[in-house]
Amino acid sequence: MDNMMTAKIIDGRKLSKEINHATAKRVQQLNQNHIFPKLVVVLVGEDPGSQLYVRMKNRKAKKLGIQSDVKHLPDDTSEDTVLKLIDRYNQDNSIDGILVQSPLPEQINEDHVISRIDPEKDADGASPFNVGRLAINDEGSYPIACTARGIMTMFKQYQISLKGKNALVIGRSKIVGRPMVNLLMNENAQVTNINKFANDTSAYTRKADIIISATGKCHLLNKNNVKPGAIIIDVGQNRDENDKLVGDADFDDLSSIASYITPVPGGVGPMTIATLMEQTVEDAVRRHK
């Protein structure tokens, strides 16, 4: 391998703009056929990060012509109240996509709430039914966890082949690590998932052709534990010692030896919301078929 190589930057900002552009166009066409895709986001409590994300999603939806409502409930809302709200949205024929912002307050069991969403209105690919379809590699069309699907879109757009590759997924969250493992398996990769109980993370990272990292640890991946030519997908969103937004990878270090790398910010980040919008519109299309 050539140590002098410069990695190709996977430009998530540009790619997400293209997806959003296509989504907006599709919404216009649907509107002409009297179909008006609509998303509702349920936010419980006052978590500032969640409030920010929900505002961003709401704003982006409106910008693309998707009807969007935010239901903001107080921190002490009961599980039963949320379940009944979901039931109401499930029955409301004007709603195509339902998203419950995570995390939920302690008194609400997230699994119960997510399981209640009609799989046909699941904008986030979080419903067990849709997660299961992915996990059995069902050939049909269904929503998938947005960040994970956004990463697959990156591979496709940059013509990165996965078949037979040694792919490493670091982290096993419901929204990134777990769906990533299934998506990569479905694309014929050899897939390893490691978590915080791994004795020696570097023993795994050194052998990987592709690394998808979602750990929240600055500089976890660097020249010393990544092989030249590897493809680095960085899902981390961390603050370094200078309070600068960085990922799990040492970008300066790795951009000289990786073959592809996603920057932070401007990499995986923008793909999540773009995919959420894409899936809301796909839900609408499937529901009106």
From the annotation, which residues make up the binding site? Answer: 171-173
Which residue's CB is nearer to its own copies, number 128 or number 228? 128
If the CB atoms of residues 19 and 169 are measured against its own copies, the closer one turns out to be 169
The residues annotated as belonging to the active site are 57, 101, 124
Using CB under 8 A, list all residues that contact its own copies. 111, 114-115, 126-140, 163-164, 172, 174, 178, 181-182, 185, 188-195, 197-199, 204
3-class DSSP assignment, residue 191:
strand
Please give the annotated binding residues for NADP(+), written as ranges.
171-173
For 39, 64, 134, the CA distances from 28, given in Å and listed in that order, are 16, 9, 29
Question: What is the rounded CA–CA span in Å between residue 40 and residue 82?
Answer: 13
Q: What is the 3-state secondary structure (H, E, C) of 59-93?
A: HHHHHCCCEEEEEEECCCCCHHHHHHHHHHHHHCC
With respect to its own copies, which residue has the nearer C-beta, 65 or 177?
177
To its own copies, the closest distance from the beta carbon of 126 in angstroms equals 8
- Structure tokens given for 240: 């370094």
Cα distance between residue 22 and residue 17, in whole Å: 9
Nearer to its own copies, 101 or 193 (CB): 193
Output the six-digit token pair for 220.
């976890």
CA 163 to CA 217: how far, in whole Å?
A: 28
Q: Give start and end residues of each alpha helix (H) in the chain.
A: 12-32, 48-63, 79-91, 110-116, 128-135, 146-157, 177-186, 201-205, 251-254, 269-287
Q: Nearest distance from residue 179's CB to its own copies, in Å?
A: 8
Could you tell me the smallest distance in angstroms from the CB atom of residue 55 to its own copies? Answer: 26
Sequence-ordered list of residues with C-beta below 8 angstroms from that of 35, at least 6 positions apart, any chain: 284, 285, 288
